Amino acid sequence: MKTVKGFSKIVAMVGAVALGLTLSACGNTNSASNTDSKNSGSTPTVSFMLDWTPNTNHIGLYVAQKLGYYKDADVNVKILPTAQAGAETSVENGVANVGFTTLSNVAAFNSQGADLKFVFDLTQKPVARWCALASRTDIKTPKDLSGKTFISFGSAEQTAVVRQMIKYAGGTGDIKTATAGTNTFETLTSGKGDFGGFYVTWEGVESELNGPKLNCFVASDWGVPGNPDQLGFAVKGSWLKDSANADALKKFIAATKKGYDYALANPDKAADILVEQAKEAQLDSKLTRTSMEEIAKNNYWTTDDPKSLPGTTNFDDAQPYLEFQYKAGTYKDQDGNDPASAPQAKDLATNEYVG
């Protein structure tokens, strides 16, 4: 695939999607064989599938690999490039043991009959932003997005968020949609759309570094309950029933968390490791460093609750958002109907493997 500047690819499934990176969307996208945790002698192997090309969301894995944290934990880790089917489907089908996803995507897939379990929550604070160009002086609050064109990837989840923000601000919630290209910045500046979704930790940084400037809104400030942006790791529930796999997952998460902790304490060094280790992504060093500095400075991966460890799912933030999306009709069963009840965060996620 061609290398593109910026990102805004959405990993979609049954209408529930999360903002995803499309920075330099090149690299091998062939699926890889699942490596059983007992195939490497006494040292288990865990295969991990990215959701898109490497970026700072994945930095903990590359740091842990480079600095020997996986070796110290006695676990082999194989990082797989994303498959066209997506990390969720790849985990469900046994192509990978662990995949990068969102809690809401797990809810969407499981509503369709999948058996996914969310086991590590990286982002503890909302990172998604809904933005128009700063030059659009007619857009001051989400109310002003009424009747405007949303640069969309066909996501029912995103549409529900945007409409709620607009209504909360006093607008009608009526919007038009335009299909996003490979670069949301370009789609905005071309005039094909009025606003779109971005990650503050990457596109927000890119906007500050290279332009164009953006005027952004945070969903939780405008009537969307809970944390919409619980990004992290999921596995197949049945895979965990094997005690050897469960033990390997604990080792993997402990070492990976150590990698993320290192990145927070040493953002520039960690960014350089990511750029070096993920050469196929052709990451811009300045953008990667600034992204990691933004994450560390604003504590997107840490928790304000002293009783909660970073990496754990905050169920108090999770459930209200899942119920909001359920009421909006985002989650569908295998027949395309609304499930009988809202997905339950306590069934979708566990903190058992974050020590």
Amino acid identity, residue 268?
D
Tell me how far CA of residue 300 lies from CA of 113, 294, 354, in angstroms: 31, 9, 18
Torsion of CA 258, 206, 52, 347, to 10 degrees: 60
Contact of 223 with 142, CB cutoff 8 Å: no
pLDDT confidence of residue 187: 84
Distance, in Å, from the CA atom of 117 to the CA atom of 236, rounded to the nearest integer, reads 6
CA pair distance 37, 43, nearest whole angstrom: 8
Q: What pLDDT was estimated at residue 52?
A: 85
Reduced DSSP (H G I as helix, E B as strand, rest coil) percent helix, strand, coil of the chain, to 5: 40, 15, 45
Stretches in the chain below the pLDDT threshold 50: 1-40
Closest CA to 232 of 345, 74, 114, 344: 345
pTM: 0.88
Task: State how far the Cα of 189 lies from the Cα of 223, in Å rounded to an integer.
Answer: 28
At 27, is the secondary structure helix, strand, or coil?
coil
For 319-351, write each residue's pLDDT tens digit: 999 999 999 999 999 999 999 999 999 999 999
Tokens of 129: 């932003």
Token digits for 100?
């990068």
Which phi and psi (to 5°) does residue 117 adopt? Answer: -135, 125
Residue 27 pLDDT = 33
Pairing state between β 214-217 and 196-199: unpaired
Q: Which residue has the tokens 């480079």?
A: 66
Q: What is the pLDDT of residues 110-163, one digit of tens each?
A: 999 999 999 999 999 999 999 999 999 999 999 999 999 999 877 899 999 999
168: CB partners within 8 A, 6+ apart: 142, 222, 223, 224
Q: Is the peptide bond before 212 cis (omega within 30 degrees of 0)?
A: yes
Strands (E), the chain: 10-11, 18-19, 45-49, 76-80, 98-102, 116-121, 128-133, 149-152, 176-179, 196-199, 214-217, 231-236
CA distance 267 to 283: 15
Contact (CB, 8 A) for 142 and 168: yes
Q: How many CB atoms lie within 10 A of CB 303?
A: 16
Closest-CA residue to 125 (of 231, 33, 45): 231
Helix (H), strand (E) counts: the chain: 12, 12
